[in-house]
Amino acid sequence: MKLYPLFADLRGRPVLVVGGGTIGERKIAALMEAGACVTVGAVDLTPALREWVDHQRITWRAGRFEENWLDDVWLVIAATNDAALHARIAALAQARRVFVNVVDDAALSSFHVPAVIDRAPLTVAISSGGHAPMLARVLRERLEALIDPVWGLLAWMLGDMRTRIRARLPDLAARRRFYARLIDGPVRSLLRREQFAAAQTATEHLLESADDRPAGSVVLVGAGPGDPGLLTLRGLRALNEADVVLHDRLVSAQVLALARRDAERIEVAKQAGNHHATQEQIHALMLHHAAAGHRVVRLKGGDPFVFGRGGEELEFLRRHGIAYEVVPGVTAALACAAYAGIPLTHRDHAQSVRLVTAHCKHSIDTLDWRALAEERQTLAIYMGTSGLSAVQQNLIRHGRAASTPFALIQNGSRPEQRVVIGTLADLAERAAAHDIRSPALLIVGEVAALAGTLAWFGHPPLEAATLGTPALNGCNSSVRY
Ligand code: SAH
Helix (H, G, I), strand (E, B) or coil at 18: strand
**Which atom belonging to ligand 1 lies closest to the Cα atom of 224?**
8
Atom 3 of ligand 1, nearest CA residue:
307
Compute the residue count for the chain.
Answer: 481
The strand pairing partners of 352, in sequence order, are: 377
Band of residue 271 on the pLDDT scale cut at 50, 70, 90: very low
Residue 185 lies in a domain: yes
> Do both 367 and 428 map to the same domain?
yes
148 CA from centroid of ligand 1 (Å): 39
CA distance 246 to 290: 12
Is residue 120 domain-resident?
A: no
Does residue 479 surpass a pLDDT of 50? no
CA of 89 to the centre of ligand 1 (A): 59
Contact residues for 387 (Cβ-Cβ < 8 A; gap 6+): 358, 359, 360, 361, 364
In a domain? residue 225: yes
Last residue of a domain, which of 330, 351, 372?
A: 330
pLDDT tens digits for range 217-259: 999 999 999 999 999 998 998 998 899 999 998 899 999 999 9
Which CATH number does the domain housing residue 44 bear?
Answer: 3.40.50.720
Tell me the average pLDDT of the chain. Answer: 90
pLDDT per residue over 325-363, tens digit each? 999 999 999 999 999 999 999 999 999 999 999 887 778
324 and 342, same domain (yes or no) = no
Q: What ligand 1 atom has the least distance to the C-alpha of 409?
A: 24
- For residues 431 and 348, membership in a common domain is answered with yes
The residue nearest atom 15 of ligand 1, judged by CA position, is 382
Of the given ranges (31-45, 209-223, 451-465), which has the lowest mean pLDDT?
A: 209-223
CA 24: distance to chain centroid? 37
Question: Residue 234's domain is classified under what CATH number?
Answer: 3.40.1010.10
- Is residue 270 part of the annotated active site? The answer reads yes
DSSP category for residue 277: S
Is 474 in the same domain as 339? yes
Rounded to the nearest angstrom, the distance between the alpha carbon of 462 and the centre of ligand 1 is 20
Domain shared by 109 and 200, yes or no: no
Mean pLDDT of all residues in 295-316: 95
With a 6 Å cutoff on the Cβ, whether 199 touches ligand 1 is no
The reported pLDDT for the residue numbered 477 is 34
What pLDDT is stored for residue 59 in this prediction? 98
Q: How many Å lie between the centroid of ligand 1 and the Cα of residue 130?
A: 41
Q: Ligand 1: which atom is nearest the Cα of residue 411? A: 23
Reply yes or no on whether 248 is catalytic: yes
Q: Is 194 left (phi over 0), alpha (psi -120 to 50) or beta?
A: left
CATH number at residue 428: 3.30.950.10
In 3D space, the residue among 43, 9, 4, 46 whose CA is nearest the CA of residue 26 turns out to be: 46
How does residue 381 score in pLDDT terms, banded at 50, 70 and 90?
very high
Q: What is the pLDDT of residue 214?
A: 64
Range scoring the smallest mean pLDDT among 126-135, 414-423, 467-476: 467-476
Q: Is residue 244 part of a domain?
A: yes
Question: What is the CA(331)–ligand 1 centre distance, in A?
Answer: 7
- Separation CA 43–CA 45 (nearest Å): 7
More confident residue, 410 or 149: 410
Last residue of a domain, one of 190, 208, 226: 208
Question: Looking at 267, 300, 330, which one is the last position of a domain?
Answer: 330
Span 153-173, average pLDDT: 90
Q: Model pTM? A: 0.68
Q: Please confirm whether the linkage preceding 133 is cis (ω < 30° from 0).
A: no
Residue 346 inside a domain? The answer is yes
Ligand 1 contact, 310 CB (< 6 A)? no
Asked whether 334 lines ligand 1 (CB < 6 A), one says no
Q: Are residues 260 and 356 in the same domain?
A: no
The answer on pLDDT for 466 being more than 50 is no
Structural domain that includes position 323:
217-330
Q: Which residue of 441, 443, 457 sits with most ligand 1 atoms within 8 Å of its CB, as the best mutation to test the pocket?
A: 441
More confident site: 92 or 196: 92
pLDDT attached to residue 212: 54
Residue 97 lies in a domain: yes
Closest-lying ligand 1 atom to the alpha carbon of residue 226: 22
Give the residue-averaged pLDDT of 256-272.
83
Query: CB neighbours (10 Å) of residue 344?
Result: 22
Ligand 1 atom with minimal separation from the 412 CA: 23
Catalytic residue among 105, 118, 212, 270: 270
From residue 348, how far is each of 105, 343, 351, 352, 401 by CA, in Å? 60, 11, 8, 12, 17
According to the model, what pLDDT value does residue 82 have? Answer: 97
Residues 105 and 169 in one domain: no
Closest residue CA from atom 2 of ligand 1 = 302
| DSSP characters over 50-86 | HHHHHTTSSEEEESS--GGGGTT-SEEEE-SS-HHHH
293 lines ligand 1 (CB under 6 A): no
Which residue is catalytic, options 227, 243, 248, 303? 248
CA of 224 to the centre of ligand 1 (A): 9
Looking at the structure, do residues 254 and 357 belong to the same domain, yes or no? no
pLDDT exceeds 80 at position 31: yes
Tell me, yes or no, whether 346 and 472 share the same domain: yes
Q: Pick the residue with more confidence: 149 or 83?
A: 83
Total domains present in the chain: 4
Mean pLDDT confidence for 463-469: 51
Q: Is 112 exposed, middle or buried (0-12, 13-18, 19+ CB in 10 A)?
A: middle
* Average pLDDT estimate for 62-68: 97
Q: Are residues 172 and 257 in the same domain?
A: no
Q: 407 CA to middle of ligand 1, Å?
A: 15
Same domain for 307 and 189: no
Residues 62 and 96 in one domain: yes
Judge if the beta carbon of residue 178 lies within 6 A of ligand 1.
no
Instruction: Write out pLDDT tens, residues 102-137.
Output: 999 999 999 999 999 999 899 999 999 888 889 999
With beta carbons less than 8 A apart as the criterion, state whether 230 and 224 touch.
yes
In a domain, 356, yes or no: yes
- Distance between CA atoms of 103 and 109, rounded to whole angstroms? 8
Residue 331 CB–ligand 1 contact under 6 Å: yes
Element containing residue 352 per DSSP (H, E) = strand 352-357
Give CA–CA dist 141/118, Å, rounded. 12
Question: Average pLDDT for residues 137-145, to the nearest whole number?
Answer: 90
The per-residue pLDDT for 269 is 65
Asked if residue 385 belongs to a domain, the reply is yes
Query: Could you give the CA distance from residue 400 to residue 427 in angstroms, rounded to a whole number?
Result: 13
